[in-house]
Chain A
């Protein structure tokens, strides 16, 4: 699977999509889900939770490993993907679509500029 070019990426293997209305959606990359293996549980902070860039906003449990989720930018959670509670495997099956994790209200949209493009991200995972 190639990494969509309309997204921004982090070194912690998360993607973030600028929704153009002051909000952004965050998930983990195809590389991340493949490295983690079968995901059995995704624990996310609730809507209303605010965080600074690099703060933890959730945890992914795979069969063999546990991995923390770090906020790529600052903001406040406005929605979480509640389907993941029942179907965490969506992260494996469709990491850039139905496997999204949270939508946030951006605190500072300029933070997005510091993140990697798909090309740059391809290079660190190649």
Chain B
């Protein structure tokens, strides 16, 4: 039996098409991916992402544990700030990418991918030789993402917390839609202005929360959005998806996550391997591809080939970009082919299409 979020009945009533996503029965689309995608780019959309995992790390050495397992420098966080990070294995391969929230001194929340919850929890627990307590709050935590240029106006109707004061990658805890203890975080996976709301399912009536937000967003034509639009939106921004673009067989340096890999912070798992990989020079790089053939829609796994039709890599994520109406993809390219402007080809079933190497995002950052 698949896991369900507290919003399952709402999704069904809204006519969502539900799919199995990493063991969760989740909406892939409601009215249609295009309509949902445009709502987030131009108005506002709401995603149920309650399947994601939340771990509470506390105690005198909570920071030490987090520093050991993550590659970004969590010691730079202050209460109310969030940080994008990743966990690596000893060989530098990626365990998962995650968000680290600092609630207060010795109190943190780690937010991980749904399909990795058990793996990540076991991994961190295994590294915990510290005075730190690790608690899995995933089953009790709801997460709604409200994303798009009208997200501020939508949510401001429901809270006294000044949302314009919550800057990117910071958060506040306040009441929203009449429910106390809602964590309002200015984060997201769409490239648009937006918020992610965390709340406890025992203390908040999830359906009432959903309905209040839908009502507040009605004047902006708010759309419930599924995982399909979430994927097209993140791909236009070049955000990596664990399992596709980053895996245990890729390291953060080649995945263009060097900016968050703090090689010089105190000891962390994967540090030696990553330092060596950097010294030796990385051999391949995750880059964007702009496909010049409308008929060739790239999909994960399709080969990237050179002028001699020799396979030099494969596509890790691809789609027809709904905003640009062009075919876009990401994939690892050998370093000599990874330069922006390089021409390569991709094989889409029975045809070969030209592609140009670009540096994501495919859309201008806002």
Contacts and interface: CB of A to CB of B under 8 A. Distances in A.
Interface of A: 34-35, 37-38, 40-41, 43, 59, 61, 63-64, 66, 92
A64 B297 contact: no
Contacts of A92: 32
Interface of B: 17, 28-29, 32-34, 228, 231-232, 294-295, 297, 299, 319-320, 322, 349
B284 to A, nearest CB: 26
Given A37-B28, A37-B29, A64-B228, 12 more contacts: A37-B33, A38-B32, A40-B297, A40-B320, A41-B297, A63-B34, A63-B228, A63-B319, A63-B322, A64-B33, A64-B231, A92-B32
B52 to A, nearest CB: 20
Contacts, number: 37
Contacts of B228: 37, 63-64
A38 B299 contact: no
B299 A66 contact: yes
A37 B349 CA distance: 21
Contacts of A61: 297, 320
23 contacts: A37-B17, A37-B28, A37-B33, A38-B34, A40-B297, A40-B320, A41-B294, A41-B295, A41-B320, A61-B297, A63-B33, A63-B34, A63-B228, A63-B232, A63-B319, A63-B320, A63-B322, A64-B28, A64-B33, A64-B228, A64-B319, A66-B297, A66-B349
A66 B32 CA distance: 16
A41 B319 CA distance: 12
Given A37-B29, A37-B32, A37-B33, A59 B320 contact: no
Nearest to B29: A37
Contacts of A41: 294-295, 297, 320
A22 B175 CA distance: 69
B349 A59 contact: yes
Contacts of B295: 41, 43
Nearest to A59: B349
Contacts of B33: 37-38, 63-64
A63 B38 CA distance: 14
Contacts of B34: 38, 63
Contacts of A38: 32-34
Contacts of B297: 40-41, 61, 66
A102 B139 CA distance: 50
A61 B32 CA distance: 14
Contacts of A63: 33-34, 228, 232, 319-320, 322
Contacts of B17: 34-35, 37
